[in-house]
Amino acid sequence: MEKKALLAVFFGTTCLPALEEDIGAVTSALEAAFPDWRVGRAFTSSMVRRALEQRAGLRVPSPARALEVLAAEGYTRVLVQSGHILPGLEYRKLEEEAMANAGRFARLTLGAPLLAGPEDYPAAARAVAADLPPRRGDAAVVLMGHGTDHPAHSAYRTLEQSFAALGREDVCIGTVEGAGGAEEVLARLKARPGVRRVELRPLLVVAGEHARNDMAGEGPDSWQSILTAGGFTVHCTLKGLGQYPGIREIFVRHGEEAAQ
């Protein structure tokens, strides 16, 4: 009988509440969708893995180590499901590790990240829009993503266009890294007549350190502080994408497509 395992792989987080609320929610959704598979977890960030072990005594393996263990335990069919948002640098690193270990198994496949195909953008926009406050003439929604130097960064613009197609032209997406930082977002908001209020949320699978510090922190360089100093009334919602049912459905769909 085929021995099957699903490895859910994320960048990771050192924020323990977000670890369960966001990553835990995605992992649980995969467990429900793959009841006959052993479901495990791995993080691509070595920095996060070290910090978790040092601060909390939690050992989360790298994808390569997790695959090594699965092979030693006799698993023959493995699905590696990405928990990343973009097919960027972290996903490509995962792809390389997975393919380097493919020979250990009779079959190994890799599930796509959140925004991988044209159907994923409207689906993700619908999932997030369903949780947003109603559109108001004096308000805008700012979603803060991580960003990357990889060409996959263009996905943020495509996703913003998908929000607009739903009638949510009030949604503005910016990133911590790459083009579209806080100052650029501030300029875009000031160019919108009548906008005085901002709903600020993370466009991250996990509402971890980036969300709590870079986005909603009390320091002068946080997005909340920059937008407030720019004259806007800002409300922060610390909710990772992993908590949105529609987002979890996309990850599950990608897993099911890879399994087939």
Q: How many CB atoms lie within 10 A of CB 72?
A: 9
Look at residue 61 in the predicted model and tell me its pLDDT.
Answer: 96
Question: Is the pLDDT confidence value at 208 over 90?
Answer: no
Q: If DSSP codes are grouped into helix, strand and coil, which group holds residue 242?
A: helix
Sheet of strand 197-202: strand arrangement: 171-175, 139-145, 197-202, 233-236
The pLDDT of residue 150: 82
Which pLDDT belongs to residue 60?
96
Residue 39's pLDDT is 98
Average per-residue pLDDT in the chain?
Answer: 95
Average of per-residue pLDDT across 242-251: 98
What confidence category does residue 134 fall into, taking pLDDT thresholds of 50, 70 and 90? very high
Which listed residue (84, 146, 153, 254) is catalytic? 146
- Looking at residue 1, its pLDDT comes to 73
Over range 123-149, report the average pLDDT. Answer: 95
So what's the pLDDT on residue 249? 98
Q: Is 146 among the residues known to form the active site? A: yes
Q: Which residue has the higher pLDDT, 150 or 24?
A: 24
Residue 230 has pLDDT above 90, yes or no: yes
Cβ contacts of 13 within 8 Å, gap of 6 or more: 19, 22, 23, 48, 206, 208, 209
Averaged pLDDT, 85-97: 93
Going by C-beta distance under 8 Å and a sequence separation of 6 or more, which residues neighbour residue 158? 115, 121
Say if residue 210's pLDDT is above 90.
no
Each residue's pLDDT tens digit, 146-200: 988 888 889 999 999 999 999 999 999 999 887 778 999 999 999 999 999 999 9
pLDDT over threshold 90, residue 238 = yes
For residue 16, is it left (φ>0), alpha (ψ between -120 and 50) or beta?
alpha
> pLDDT value at position 255?
98
Please tell me the pTM assigned to this model. Answer: 0.95
Report residue 47: phi and psi, to 5°: -65, -45
Residue 218 vs residue 141, higher pLDDT: 141
pLDDT class of 38 with cuts at 50, 70, 90? very high
Range scoring the smallest mean pLDDT among 53-67, 123-137, 138-152: 138-152
Residue ranges and CATH numbers for the domains of the chain are: 4-115+243-259 (3.40.50.1400), 120-241 (3.40.50.1400)
pLDDT for the residue 2: 87
85 near 114, Cβ under 8 Å?
A: yes
pLDDT at 36: 96
